[in-house]
Amino acid sequence: MYNKKAQISEGITWIVATIAIIIILLVSVFITSLYVSDSNEIKMDFSDSIPQKSFHSYLLTKEPNGETIYYKIKQDEDLSDFNGNLALRIFKELYKEEYPVAVLLGINFEGFGIRKNDYFGSAPTKLRGGDISQRSVDFVSEKVILNDEKWVELVLMNK
């Protein structure tokens, strides 16, 4: 009982130190949240993302005749009425706000670009600006190989 005052002062020191640490943590979280909210969008890697999963699920969907959309596109080398309209409903409606410049799905032949189709039209240019300033537009894409020369590709452009 002789050191009761010493125990009280040491306890108060620990309480004040704990409160100071909590205040420092709260201030740092607040400052970080302000900094992150003012910064530009974080660029998302297209691999293993929701658009990629949507695209792969779309290709695995069965057509009315029982074939997968992937097999039908591989066989016809173009979008049919069923899978073209389904792609419009899935990709245009889901991603038009997040990727306002273009949502495009089609067949790409030997890397010359996506061929024009009745559902998504032709691919927009990947450059914008005048003669002096030509900046690349931000876009993501996913492709699935059909054969050595062709693949089906989903392209989403946001700026």
The answer to whether residues 67 and 104 belong to one domain is yes
Could you tell me if 77 and 112 lie in one domain?
A: yes
Closest CA to 127 of 152, 102, 92: 102
Mean pLDDT of all residues in 38-52: 54
- Lowest mean pLDDT across 5-9, 102-106, 149-153: 5-9
Q: In this structure, are 15 and 86 located in the same domain? A: no
Residue 45 falls inside a structural domain: no
Q: How far apart are CA 105 and CA 141, in angstroms?
A: 10
Q: Are residues 74 and 12 in the same domain?
A: no
Per the CB < 8 A criterion, the answer to whether 141 and 111 are in contact is: no
The answer to whether residues 35 and 54 belong to one domain is no
| Domain assignment of residue 78, yes or no | yes
109 falls within a domain = yes
Query: What was the pLDDT predicted at 18?
Result: 96
* Number of folded domains that form the chain: 2
Tokens of 7: 């125990």
Instruction: Kindly state whether residue 128 falls inside one of the protein's structural domains.
Output: yes
Query: Is 44 contained in some domain?
Result: no
Q: What is the pLDDT of residue 20?
A: 96
pLDDT at 126: 53
pLDDT confidence of residue 137: 56
Q: Does residue 56 share a domain with residue 33?
A: no
User: Does an H or E element contain 98, and which?
Assistant: none
My answer on whether 65 and 108 are in the same domain is yes
Q: Higher confidence at residue 97 or residue 25?
A: 25
Parent domain of 20? 1-39
Whether residues 136 and 61 share a domain: the answer is: yes
Predicted TM-score (pTM) of the model is 0.60
In sequence order, the 6+-apart residues with CB closer than 8 A to the CB of 116 are: 106, 122, 123
Residue 69 pLDDT > 70: yes
pLDDT digits (tens, 9 = 90+) for 132-147: 333 455 677 788 888 8
How does residue 105 score in pLDDT terms, banded at 50, 70 and 90? Answer: confident
- State whether 108 and 69 are in the same domain: yes
